[in-house]
């Protein structure tokens, strides 16, 4: 997939450097948000099913200099408990630098720096599925590392060779509870509400811009996921305007500029639902909830390769998945329990049923298929 869906934004780079273990999750959801239970971390220890010589990786990590560099599109609030608990487990890791980049820019920057012979990133992490698939379609772009945690995870945990899902994040439907005039539980429900008063909803619905790889991935996954998907979309899209980020969609729904929106990331919607109770509501569409594996992999010449391996293994462990959930992402390891303040894959299954979950495949879409889908989608949008 080429430039037709790539959006390499020229944004300022936000770099967060975490030093030591004094990392706290800023309560973007407000002080009244439910608190996650304490995640008890066993320092410098690992499960019995790990290789008998796993200590060699730990010893090598101690020689890495205590640094880890991550290129990612993941928000700092999501990372904070993960970094905190990883440094509790391995206190010799003193500095974690996490660049907050545009979804596609993660790969653009890595490729550019590799070409110059100066590539400082140890780990790449983004939920831009199509961009990941395109980047990793050539051999040697990620390290072929097999985590000992893989045997304890569902079969969808490894999304591509060398690339794991750090979370399985649902994409949902949101609406302004005070202004919409209904409580849709699906895209079809939203279509039915719009049909009652089309003039009211003209330009008042927001969809995701399909010219970006994230928007393309989730929109096409939903459209391909059910026999009636295009019927619902054909009724909703004429009232819709596209936005390039979930954050923008959420802000404009909360303010009333939009009455509802769909294909919004749960990672930013969950905190807003807690903060704006009675105004902003987020639901998993019962006619198809798209779930994105947030891909993470180690760069082939990672400067701190052993530390990166420890990080991947921790992230996939029960300790790590609890931290993933605490940060607002959706854990998928079966042993992570659904409690107040934590979201799990099982929660989605319980609400919509396994048959109504649409997992986005990590595979390259041809340019012809990209163009056909984008043209059809944009042709339906309101003008």
Quick one: pLDDT at residue 34? 56
Q: What is the 3-state secondary structure (H, E, C) of the chain?
A: CCHHHCCCCCCCCEEEEEECCCCCCCCCCCCCCCCCCCCCCCCCCCCCCCCCCCHHHHHHHHCCCCEEEEEECCCHHHHHHHHHHHHHHCCCCCEEEEEECCCCHHHHHHHHHHHHCCCCCCEEEECCHHHHHHHCCCCCCCCCCCCCCHHHCCCCCEEECCEEEEEEEEEEEEEECCCCCCCCCCHHHHHHHHHHCHHHHCCCEEEECCCCHHHHHHHHHHHHHCCCHHHHHHHHHHHEEEECCHHHHHHHHHHCCCCEEEEEEHHHHHHHHHHCCCCEEEECCCCCEEEEEEEEEECCCCCCHHHHHHHHHHHHCHHHHHHHHHCCCEECCCCCCCCCCCEEHHHHHHHHCHHHEEECCCCCCCHHHHHHHHHHHHHHCCC
Instruction: Supply the pLDDT for residue 29.
Output: 39
For the whole model, what pTM was predicted? Answer: 0.85
Q: What is residue 110's predicted lDDT score, i.e. its pLDDT?
A: 92
| Low pLDDT (below 70) residues in the chain | 1-37, 383
pLDDT at 373 (0 to 100): 96
């Amino acid at each position: 997939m080429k430039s037709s869906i790539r959006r390499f934004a020229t944004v300022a780079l936000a770099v967060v450097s975490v030093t030591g273990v004094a990392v706290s999750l800023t309560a973007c959801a407000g002080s009244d948000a439910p608190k996650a239970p304490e995640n008890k971390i066993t320092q410098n220890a690992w499960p019995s099913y790990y290789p008998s010589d796993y200590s060699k990786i730990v010893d090598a990590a101690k020689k890495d200099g205590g640094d880890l560099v991550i290129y990612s599109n993941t928000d700092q609030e999501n990372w904070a408990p993960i970094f905190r608990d990883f440094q509790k487990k391995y206190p010799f890791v003193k500095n974690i630098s996490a660049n907050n980049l545009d979804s596609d820019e993660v790969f653009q920057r890595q490729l550019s720096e590799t070409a110059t012979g100066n590539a400082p990133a140890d780990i790449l992490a983004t939920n831009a599925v199509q961009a990941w698939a395109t980047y990793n379609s050539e051999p040697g772009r990620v390290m072929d590392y097999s985590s000992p945690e893989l045997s304890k995870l569902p079969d969808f945990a490894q999304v591509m060779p060398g690339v794991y899902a750090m979370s399985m994040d649902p994409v949902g439907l949101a609406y302004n509870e005070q202004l919409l005039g209904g409580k849709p539980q699906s895209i079809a429900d939203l279509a039915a509400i719009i049909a009652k008063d089309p003039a009211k909803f003209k330009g008042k619905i927001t969809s995701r811009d399909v010219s970006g790889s994230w928007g393309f991935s989730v929109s096409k996954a939903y459209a391909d996921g059910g026999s009636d998907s295009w019927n619902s979309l054909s009724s909703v899209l004429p009232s819709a305007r596209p936005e390039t980020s979930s954050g923008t969609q959420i802000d404009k729904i909360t303010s009333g500029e939009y009455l509802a929106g769909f294909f919004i990331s749960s990672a930013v919607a969950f905190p807003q639902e807690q903060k704006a109770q009675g105004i902003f509501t987020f639901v998993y569409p019962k006619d198809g909830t798209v779930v994105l594996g947030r891909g993470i992999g180690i760069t082939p010449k990672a400067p701190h390769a052993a530390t990166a391996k420890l990080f991947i293994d921790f992230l996939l462990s029960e300790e790590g998945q609890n931290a993933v959930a605490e940060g607002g992402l959706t854990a998928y390891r079966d042993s992570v329990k659904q409690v107040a303040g934590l979201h799990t894959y099982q929660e989605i299954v319980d609400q919509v049923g396994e048959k109504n979950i649409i997992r986005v495949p990590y595979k390259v879409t041809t340019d012809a298929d990209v163009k056909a889908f984008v043209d059809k989608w944009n042709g339906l949008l309101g003008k």
